[in-house]
Amino acid sequence: MSQNKIKVVVTRKLPDSIETRMMELFDVQLNLNEDPMTKAELIEAVKTADVLVPTVTDRIDSAILSQAGDSLRLIANYGTGVDHIDLASARQRGITVTNTPDVLTEDTADMTMALILAVPRRLAEGAQVVHEGNWKGWSPTWMLGHRIYGKRLGIIGMGRIGSAVARRARGFGLSVHYHNRHRVHPEMENELEATYWESLDQMLARVDIISVNCPHTPATFHLLSARRLKLVQSHAYIVNTSRGEVIDENALTRMLVAGDLAGAGLDVFANEPAVNAKLLNLKNVLLLPHMGSATLEGRIDMGDKVLINIKTFADGHKPPDRVIGEAF
């Protein structure tokens, strides 16, 4: 497959430097505005493209893939998570799917740690008071939060991001606890001074802060269900920078409204960009617009990964970041 004949359709605006390099290498159809493609536009794209470059906001389901032309051989996802792509349909059609692992680990871990610090210390509330001109001066009992040092952090998913969060947490004096599909290597466990919990239920009942860092899969959908959320101590906080679907958002909202949880820091939601209206009115909830990985450096690194995957595929070789596929 000759690189200069490959038609690449990019669904969202990417950093200028990445788009420039794509135009130099391929026949590229860019999305020059910040709006996502409609379903009809995605269907038109897969009919003619050799390579599709979607993002997390693009639902590439079986209905779209069923309209794909025979030329579509690669979906080079701009992002790590691929839960928005129907992998079974892609595999059935012989379409290779790649992603951009590793490059967002540190950025997402930074944002996770920022929420772990910000929510118990009420940073969003304090900033709002100052911005609105309502600060009346210092008082010894005003805007009291809770100390982070010495608290128990429970990490759900000790993969790349989870372990990066654990390293940061140790620096702030938190004790690290974790639940994972498989226990990590003893060397890593010792390095992080981490305590493994085979039972998620038992860990949830014993930690002060919960950080959700597992991917969204059928097995993790509503992993934090209404039943499990009731196991969490009422003084605890929940932070989610993974995917909104991992938590039963309605159950979480009910508990926050009722005061059965101390607070939450949420960067992801079940029906983005829609957010449960009841969450918007809660002072103990810090809401962010899915910006956990939003750094210029990270976005450029993601683009570099996409370029390498496309170029390698175009040269007839296996892309380095394959999720599925042997379409050669």
Q: How confident is the model at residue 250 (pLDDT cuts 50, 70, 90)?
A: very high
Residue 237 has pLDDT above 60, yes or no: yes
290 assigned to active site: yes
Same domain, 88 and 150: no
Same domain, 72 and 215: no
The predicted model gives 11-21 an average pLDDT of 97
DSSP at 271: B
pLDDT number for residue 34: 83
Summarize pLDDT for 271-295 with one digit per residue, the tens. Answer: 999 999 999 999 999 999 999 999 9
152 assigned to active site: no
Residue 327 has pLDDT above 90, yes or no: no
Same domain, 83 and 202: no
Same domain, 140 and 69: no
Summarize pLDDT for 294-313 with one digit per residue, the tens. Answer: 999 999 999 999 999 999 99
Same domain, 85 and 47: yes
Same domain, 283 and 138: yes
pLDDT number for residue 5: 78
Which entry of 243, 245, 249, 299 is annotated as an active-site residue? 243
Q: How confident is the model at residue 33 (pLDDT cuts 50, 70, 90)?
A: confident
Same domain, 167 and 45: no
Same domain, 97 and 126: no
What six digits make up the tokens of 127?
């900033």
243 assigned to active site: yes
Residue 137 has pLDDT above 60, yes or no: yes
Summarize pLDDT for 48-72 with one digit per residue, the tens. Answer: 999 999 999 999 999 999 999 999 9
CB neighbourhood size of 126 (10 A): 15
**Number of structural domains in the chain:** 2
Q: What share of the chain in percent tops pLDDT 90?
A: 95
Helix (H, G, I), strand (E, B) or coil at 261: coil
Report the mean per-residue pLDDT for the chain.
Answer: 95
Q: How confident is the model at residue 4 (pLDDT cuts 50, 70, 90)?
A: low
The predicted model gives 159-182 an average pLDDT of 98
The predicted model gives 176-180 an average pLDDT of 99
Summarize pLDDT for 95-108 with one digit per residue, the tens. Answer: 999 999 999 999 99
pLDDT number for residue 91: 96
DSSP at 5: G
Same domain, 275 and 185: yes
Same domain, 215 and 301: no
Domain that residue 133 falls in:
105-287
- Check which CATH number belongs to the domain holding 42 and give it: 3.40.50.720
Which whole-number Å values give the CA distances from 176 to 102, 150, 168, 193, 207, in the listed order?
A: 22, 10, 10, 7, 9
Q: What share of the chain in percent tops pLDDT 70?
A: 98
Same domain, 249 and 305: no
What residues does 194 pair with on adjacent strands? 176
Q: Under 8 Å CB-to-CB from 79, ≥6 apart: which residues?
A: 55, 56, 99, 100, 104, 302
Same domain, 84 and 115: no
Q: How confident is the model at residue 162 (pLDDT cuts 50, 70, 90)?
A: very high
Q: Among 26, 33, 34, which Cα is nearest to 52's?
A: 26
Please give the distance of CA 122 from its chain centroid, rounded to a whole number. 23
Which entry of 181, 193, 272, 297 is annotated as an active-site residue? 272
